Structure 1
Amino acid sequence: MTKLVIKLDEQTFASSDRIEQITNKIIQEKESGYDVVIVAPFINLIDEKVKQYAYTLSEQPTKRELDSIRSTNTQIASSLLAIAMNARGYKAVSLTGCQAGIETFSTKRNVLIDRIENECLKNYLSKDIIPIIAGAQGKDAVNNITLLGEGGPETTAVAVAVAIDAERVDIYTNATGVFTADPKIVKTAKQIKQLSYDELLELSLLGSKIIHPRAVELAKKYNMSLVVCSSTENIPGTVIKGEVDMERNLIVRGVAYETDIIRLTVGYESYEQASLANLFTTLADNQINVDIIVQAVIDGVNPTVSFSIEKEVFAEAVKVLESSKRSLGFSFADFEVGLAKVSIVGSGMVSNPGVAARMFDRLRSENIPVKMVSTSEIKVSVVVPQDDMVRAANALHDEFNLVEEIV
């Protein structure tokens, strides 16, 4: 029987009525002939209160025990859904990440999935039992509970789908699919029927909180189809796959934006002192991600390098630069706040030159200044004043005719 993995959203567990509603959707999939595996999201039920207790007992509780506390939230979610499914006469079982056979390993920055022992899941499916897995968790080599962190639930869903050779992964959200822009700020935004992995990956990286990039990367690696769809409405969602079906798609497929961008500029007395490798290695060693980078080297002018960072890491970035000024050899550091990043994305850009020129011309006609620019084969990003972000997004959505029907 064809297998389907469904990743649920947090809103599913907002009330018992919502749990009943999602139970009906899962039953519909089951009755249509699918072997279904469910991945529950992280929900905030008891986490904060219990953590407060933990910190009254110790000023520095171990990460192992804090992870164990946090893992119970998702386990509760999977158990509640299993109870609802069993009450409707459908056999279901809740599973921790460990019970589902999810094995992990740790790097300096992340906990990653190493492999999934799929015999457990296949055994339940062979007995017509619906496994409901607590997402974003697993076990390490010494059987400690580990948490996958941001993007963990959808990454779990993709990994499970690969492990059991599922047809696709349905990502349930509070929207009906992926839109050409955020409908909250671009009222004419339309739902997209299909996107490539690369297009969705760019949109996710550029500020569209649709699916976490790590899940998209894993789906692309194993060519696992994704469908972003509604958890409440029976409306066809957006299909994510390797290539979209037809060439007549619009050149630009979507507009994304990101607020609270800060531009940092570092200046040097001479080019010989301006080591980009040392600068960005130092920032990376302190877990500071940079985005758009612009270097200015002009005869007779002191060289500078500017780069954009998120507001959350600004204070730490300034601290690192100040403490490393001597070793990095720069003469001054300056910053500009109140900025935003607006991006256009589309695989059609590869074979259609002049897209960036159209973008810059439209922004110029709207009197929106461009502070920084970054490009790739399928995206162009600009940093603009944050007060102009909404206007820029709407203007670009109009410029590239995204109000048209999208294939």
Structure 2
Amino acid sequence: MQTVVVKFGGPMLATTEKIVQVAKKVIKEQGRGINLVVVVSSMTSIRQNLRQFASEITHEPSKREMDALISTGAQITSVLLALAIQEHGGKAVSLAGWQAGIQTNEKYGNARIDSIVNKRFEKHFELGEIVVVSGFQGITYTDNISTLGKGGSETSAVALAIALNAERVDIYSTVEGIYTADPQLVEDATKLSVISYDEMLEFSNLGTKILHPRAVELAKNYNMPIVVRSATEDVEGTLIKGDVDMEKNLLVRGVAYESDIIRLTIGYDSYETASLAEVFSVLAENDINVDIIVQAVIDGIKPTISFTISKEEFADALRVLESSKLSLGFSFADFEIGLAKVSIIGSAMTSNPGVAARMFARLGREHIPVKMVSTSEIKVSVVVPQEEMVRAANALHEEFNIAMKEVPAS
């Protein structure tokens, strides 16, 4: 019998009424003759309450204790869902992450899965039970509870699917699938029936919040298919897989964007004092993520290094740079706020030169200034003024005819 792993996020489990709806849905899914594992996130209200309780007691909680505390949120949700399944005629058992055999390293708050010991699942499948697993968590080799950080629940689902040799992972979401752009901002955005792992990785890294990159990367490494589908509508979702016939598909598959980008620039008196390695090593040591990087070294002009960061990390980046100014040797630092990143994505871009030029030409005709550029084999990103983000996204969506009907999944 085939095994399918499904994942439901916090918004779909926000109330007991929604939990009952999910229970009925998974009972129906199991009725198709499969072994079913359901991975759940914590109810948002519970997670917020737990953090609030901790903050009322201490401003500097230990990471180990916070992991033990926060993990209970998903455990409560998994128990409630198991009870709802039982109440509506199904068989179910809830398992915390450690009971499901998810073993991690000891980096509390952002642990990585090392292995899964899946001894218990076959017994529950033989009893006809739906196994409801608390996502976002595991246990260390020293028997301490750990949490997986951002993207932890979908990463749990993919890892379990790999360990159980499942047919696929279904990620139930508030949207019907992966779109060529955000349909709330781009009127002609259309749902993709199929997308490659590499394209999905770019979508995830460039601002699309449906799937975390670490879950996509794990699925790619083990060739585990993922389907992103609606939790409320019975419609086909988007299949994420390795082999997509790019020759028959669109040159550009989608447009992604991210608001509230900040450009930081540091300048040096001479090239000899400028060191990319030292700057970004210091930022990395302080867990500050840097995106687009531009170094300018021109005779007669003081060298500069510019890079983009998110608004959330701006204060930390300034603090780190200021405290390291002497060791890094830069003479000044400046920043620009009110920026956004707009990207075009498509695996077929690899064998089709001229895509970037066409992108820049269209933005030029729209009189949208391009402040920074970053490219890879399957994406081109530009930094533009924040107020031009939506107009740039719509113009590029139209320029590359992304709304054209694409080839169905096969």
1:190–1:406 contact (8 Å) kept in structure 2? no
Aligned to 2:238: 238
2:11–2:44 contact (8 Å) kept in structure 1? no
| Aligned-partner Cα distance in 2 for 1:198–1:382 | 19
Distance 1:109 1:333, change over 3 A: farther
Distance 1:51 1:300, change over 3 A: closer
What does residue range 343-358 of structure 1 map to in structure 2 within 5 Å? 343-358=343-358
Aligned to 1:392: 392
1:267–1:331 contact (8 Å) kept in structure 2? yes
**Equivalent position SS for 1:36:** strand
| Aligned-partner Cα distance in 1 for 2:265–2:64 | 40
Distance 1:331 1:78, change over 3 A: same
Aligned to 1:259: 259
What does residue range 40-55 of structure 1 map to in structure 2 within 5 Å? 40-55=40-55
**Equivalent position SS for 1:106:** coil
| Aligned-partner Cα distance in 1 for 2:82–2:138 | 19
- CA offset digits 1:47-103 (Å, max 9, x no partner): 444444445545544322222221111111111111111122221001100111111
**Equivalent position SS for 1:119:** coil
Residue 20 of structure 1, CA deviation: 2.7
What residue identity is the alignment partner of 2:376?
S
2:109–2:146 contact (8 Å) kept in structure 1? no
1:292–1:373 contact (8 Å) kept in structure 2? yes
Residue 389 of structure 1, CA deviation: 0.3
1:362–1:399 contact (8 Å) kept in structure 2? yes
What residue identity is the alignment partner of 2:35?
D
In the alignment, structure 1 residue 383 sits paired with structure 2 residue 383: yes
- CA offset digits 1:120-162 (Å, max 9, x no partner): 1122112211110000111111211111111000000000000
**Equivalent position SS for 1:266:** strand
The worse-fitting range, judged by mean Cα deviation, of 195-204 and 281-290 is 281-290
Unaligned runs of 5+ in 1: none
| Aligned-partner Cα distance in 1 for 2:148–2:252 | 33
The worse-fitting range, judged by mean Cα deviation, of 361-370 and 68-77 is 68-77
In the alignment, structure 1 residue 192 sits paired with structure 2 residue 197: no
Aligned to 1:122: 122
Residue 11 of structure 1, CA deviation: 2.5
Aligned to 1:99: 99
Residue 16 of structure 1, CA deviation: 3.3
What residue identity is the alignment partner of 1:10?
G
2:204–2:210 contact (8 Å) kept in structure 1? yes
Aligned to 1:359: 359
**Equivalent position SS for 1:335:** strand
What does residue range 209-248 of structure 1 map to in structure 2 within 5 Å? 209-245=209-245, 247-248=247-248
Aligned to 2:321: 321
Unaligned runs of 5+ in 2: none
Distance 1:60 1:14, change over 3 A: closer
Residue 17 of structure 1, CA deviation: 3.2
**Equivalent position SS for 1:204:** helix
What does residue range 302-317 of structure 1 map to in structure 2 within 5 Å? 302-317=302-317
What does residue range 144-293 of structure 1 map to in structure 2 within 5 Å? 144-245=144-245, 247-293=247-293
TM-score, normalization by structure 2:
0.96
| Aligned-partner Cα distance in 2 for 1:275–1:388 | 33
- CA offset digits 1:366-387 (Å, max 9, x no partner): 0000000000000000000001
What does residue range 334-345 of structure 1 map to in structure 2 within 5 Å? 334-345=334-345
The worse-fitting range, judged by mean Cα deviation, of 242-251 and 30-39 is 242-251
**Equivalent position SS for 1:232:** coil
Residue 2 of structure 1, CA deviation: 0.5
- CA offset digits 1:300-353 (Å, max 9, x no partner): 211111111111111111122122122111111111111000000000000111
| Aligned-partner Cα distance in 2 for 1:48–1:288 | 24
Aligned to 2:372: 372
Aligned to 2:142: 142
Residue 199 of structure 1, CA deviation: 0.2
Residue 115 of structure 1, CA deviation: 0.7
| Aligned-partner Cα distance in 1 for 2:200–2:282 | 30
Distance 1:51 1:363, change over 3 A: closer
Distance 1:123 1:192, change over 3 A: same
Distance 1:310 1:57, change over 3 A: closer
Distance 1:131 1:112, change over 3 A: same
What residue identity is the alignment partner of 1:303?
P
TM-score, normalization by structure 1:
0.97
Distance 1:402 1:288, change over 3 A: same
1:122–1:164 contact (8 Å) kept in structure 2? no
